[in-house]
Amino acid sequence: MIRLTSLALAISALLLPPFPADAQQAAQPVQEPKPTMPLPEGAVVYHALSGREAQVVFTSDAPLEKIVGKSNAVVGYVVPGPKDQPAKLAGAAFILPVRSLATGIPLRDEHLVDRAWLNAESFPTIDFVLTKVEDIKEIKRGEGFTTWSVTLVGDMTLHGVKRQLRVPDARLSFFQESDKTRSIAPGDLLFLKCEYTVRMSDFGIRHADVPKKVSDQVTLAQMIRLSSASPSAIEAASKQARQVEASAETPSQPPR
């Protein structure tokens, strides 16, 4: 087991590069899903921090074209397990609005969500519901945080088709609230980082551009940050941070 003593180093090592907000498509916000399972006594619910850095990056690497798209509009929750094994999650669910996916080319984004591809009109979201967690191993521990390696098993619904999804070697990092973590959000934090592949044909998506221009196999890299604070507390802190940033950017008036 590796011991790390720098909380700042642990956090920075997990962060993805920022995703420019102006590259994001306009998408109707969706409501965070609610836990449907009975929660353990004293359970804490972590809420996804949306509208910030990229949470999902997908890559289609075809012979004639490589396409990279991103979204920062994922909503969802995670319920951790017992204190001695928080990575044994009691539940989790996430929703991604299809229209939030952005590839950097507006016309291509329009094609991505039309009927021939993801068909956002009929299937506006991509959903994942956790069913179990396997292969739980603690791999790092430091002052105020632990990181675990797990296999996430759940149901993904894409294009109206539900299939079981296994995500091996997913990383769950739990951070106790501190001055450093409060720069991100109030409350304890959880970072969920993973990478996996899906086949579009498994979800009923077939097109003449596959496989020359668009790969049937798509790689997804996810980095979802969550907070144990209530959604209202998260929004209040985020609003205050935006006000501070706006104030810092406003030029001061010269003295008269």
Element (H, E) at 141: strand 125-142
Query: 186 lies in a domain?
Result: yes
* pLDDT recorded at residue 91: 96
Query: 256 lies in a domain?
Result: no
**Res. 17: pLDDT tops 50:** no
* pLDDT recorded at residue 172: 99
CATH number of the CATH domain containing 167: 2.40.128.110
Model confidence over 79-126: pLDDT tens digits?
Answer: 999 999 999 999 999 999 999 999 999 999 999 999 999 999 999 999
Query: 128 lies in a domain?
Result: yes
**Res. 3: pLDDT tops 50:** no
pLDDT band at 253 (very low <50, low <70, confident <90, very high): low
**Res. 48: pLDDT tops 70:** yes
CA gap 166, 151 in Å, rounded: 7
Q: Which of 81, 221, 78, 90 has the alpha carbon at shortest distance from 138? A: 81
Is residue 211 reached through a cis peptide bond, with omega within 30 degrees of 0 on the bond before it? Answer: yes
The string over 163-195, giving b where at least 16 C-beta atoms fall within 10 Å of a residue's C-beta and e elsewhere, is eebebeebbbbbbebbebbeebbbbbbbbbbbb
Q: What is the domain extent for residue 143?
A: 2-248
What six digits make up the tokens of 20? 């420019």
**Res. 12: pLDDT tops 90:** no
What six digits make up the tokens of 239? 């609003």
Query: 255 lies in a domain?
Result: no
The number of domains in the chain is 1
**pTM of the predicted protein model:** 0.86
pLDDT band at 7 (very low <50, low <70, confident <90, very high): low
* pLDDT recorded at residue 41: 84
Mean pLDDT: which of 2-6, 27-31, 167-171, 240-244 is highest? 167-171
**Res. 76: pLDDT tops 90:** yes
Q: Which residues contact 161 (CB under 8 A, 6 or more apart)?
A: 202, 203, 204
Query: 201 lies in a domain?
Result: yes
Query: 230 lies in a domain?
Result: yes
Start-end of H helices in the chain: 7-14, 106-113, 179-182, 231-249
Q: How far from chain centre, in Å, is Cα 48?
A: 7
Query: 254 lies in a domain?
Result: no
CA gap 185, 79 in Å, rounded: 18
* pLDDT recorded at residue 248: 75
Model confidence over 121-177: pLDDT tens digits?
Answer: 999 999 999 999 999 999 999 999 999 999 999 999 999 999 999 999 999 999 999
What six digits make up the tokens of 38? 């009975």
Model confidence over 171-212: pLDDT tens digits?
Answer: 999 999 999 999 999 999 999 999 999 999 999 999 999 999
What six digits make up the tokens of 166? 């296994």
CA gap 146, 216 in Å, rounded: 36
Pairing of strands 125-142, 161-175: unpaired
Query: 183 lies in a domain?
Result: yes
Start-end of H helices in 118-230: 179-182
